């Protein structure tokens, strides 16, 4: 049962990240910095991936800041001012998060999935944290795909797994 559970969690991480990647790739350059709800389109994608990356870590203390994270700010998820959030950088970050998701879920055990999330502001199990993380990806992917539809670009739906035909 545990292998089946890990497979479907991995498949849904990949499907949701694939859909996010489709939005990132299909956003016209002149819309990348346009407001989408309360953040720029590109920043929504970046923000989503920051939390994917964080919640795939065992806990906050073990989270590794990336080159573009601002370790000098009280909010390390704000990108460095001299580090522009281009589509290429965010797409590369998505690839990093995809690999981390697959590696992290593959290492889970029944016991590790039943343990606390590792984040004191999320009093849930590690297993539920993975579902929470996927829901967060889909929440923001929905915002981005709705924005793209308003400018006549249709985002693709991925049911399960990684679909190389999408991105």
Q: Which residues are annotated as a binding site?
A: 47, 136, 140
Number of Cα atoms under 13 Å in the Cβ half of residue 50: 18
Binding residues for a divalent metal cation: 47, 136, 140
Separation between Cα atoms, residue 90 and residue 80, nearest integer Å: 14
Q: By 3-state DSSP, what share of the chain in percent is helix, strand and coil, each rounded to 5?
A: 60, 5, 35
Separation between Cα atoms, residue 74 and residue 116, nearest integer Å: 25
- Phi, psi at 40, each rounded to 5°: -65, 150
Separation between Cα atoms, residue 40 and residue 33, nearest integer Å: 5
Can you name the residues that pair with 39 across neighbouring β-strands? 36
Separation between Cα atoms, residue 133 and residue 99, nearest integer Å: 15
Residues in the chain: 167
């Amino acid at each position: 049962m545990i292998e089946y559970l890990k497979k479907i969690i991995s498949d849904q991480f990949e499907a949701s990240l694939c859909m996010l990647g489709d939005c990132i790739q299909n956003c016209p350059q002149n819309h990348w910095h346009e407001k989408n709800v309360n953040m720029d389109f590109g920043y929504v994608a970046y923000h989503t991936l920051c939390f994917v990356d964080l919640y795939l870590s065992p806990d906050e203390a073990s989270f590794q800041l990336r080159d573009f994270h601002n370790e000098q700010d009280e909010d390390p998820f704000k990108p460095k001012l001299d580090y522009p959030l281009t589509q290429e950088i965010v797409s590369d970050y998505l690839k990093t998060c995809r690999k981390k998701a697959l590696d992290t879920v593959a290492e889970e055990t029944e016991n590790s999935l039943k343990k606390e999330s590792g984040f004191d502001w999320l009093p849930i199990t590690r297993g539920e944290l993975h579902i929470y993380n996927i829901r967060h990806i889909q929440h923001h992917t929905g915002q981005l795909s709705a924005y793209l539809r308003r400018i006549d670009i249709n985002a693709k739906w991925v049911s399960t797994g990684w679909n190389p035909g999408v991105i």
